[in-house]
Amino acid sequence: MGKWTARDITDQQGRTFVVTGANSGLGEVAARALGAAGATVILACRDVDKAGVVAAQIGENAQVRRLDLADLASVREFAAGVEGVDVLINNAGVMAVPQGTTVDGFETQFGTNHLGHFALTGLLLDRITDRVVTLSSGFHRLGTMNLDDPNWERRKYNRWLAYGQSKLANLLFAYELDRRLSSAGSKVKSLAAHPGYAATNLQSHTASVWDKLMVVGNLAAQSAEMGALPELYAATVDTAASGSFIGPDGPFEQRGYPKSVGSNAKSRDRAVAAGLWGESERLTGVTYSFGK
């Protein structure tokens, strides 16, 4: 693959990207890089004021639309206002937060990181022309997809295991979407990516001792600019294969330049992926149509 950087992004004029969570962190870096390459970038964010600052710096090819992934009504409202999109980057997320629920009563991390993006992708799919990129994490290896209790209603809550489940769900979804698109004869791609260990504000909103530890830990982390490279590669490189998982090429995939990486056996379990898909459609009320 070589040492691919944001400077290698080809001209994106005439293409429209939706980037969730683009007001800060990896999403902001991705939006800026895509805007610099000439793309029209829709910053899909809950905090529209912060997103507005970023959009103003990108220029007239950037737009801000409100999207709260923890509220399915907001997801539907946002999707209804999008006329067309070439690439959807499911970037936004929360990490290791205290136990809580979304507006619709889902466990916060599963509801925001997975169900919100599942609903968004399904509602936009008939207008996506090129690909969907879904952000996962190396923490998917911590997760187990519990289809009997995905919202931690009967289990003792563990914020890190819940985060791992949500990131595993992201991968299961990305791979299953690839299979279903391929089966339908669609040219739309589905890829997954992860940033390795990148210094962003995601780790400072856990409301735990982790927030203080990250002040030290971030000294060893790679920059958000480096962490965003895998999702940018997955979103813009023509030869990036559908169904692939892009992450850093360094030791333990913690830092480095983008390359195709592997994932654990749980993420490749087709029966679990199909079960998650059905449960996600039931919970969100969003049923996918593949044009058959």
Q: Which one is catalytic: 157, 163, 175, 288?
A: 163
Known catalytic membership, residue 163: yes
How distant is the alpha carbon of residue 144 from its chain centre?
Answer: 19
- Cβ burial of 111 (10 Å; 0-12, 13-18, 19+) is buried
Distance CA 263, CA 140 (A): 8
Distance CA 172, CA 161 (A): 16
Distance CA 185, CA 165 (A): 30
Nearest-CA neighbor of 201 among 6, 62, 29?
29
Angle value at C-alpha 141, between 72 and 112, nearest 5 degrees: 10
Distance CA 26, CA 16 (A): 18
Task: Give the gyration radius of the chain's Cα atoms.
Answer: 17
Nearest-CA neighbor of 258 among 172, 186, 192?
192
Distance CA 125, CA 139 (A): 27
**Single-letter code of the amino acid located at 267:** S
Q: In what order do the strands lie in the sheet with 40-45?
A: 62-66, 40-45, 16-20, 85-90, 128-135, 189-193, 245-248, 258-260
Q: Which residues are catalytic?
A: 163
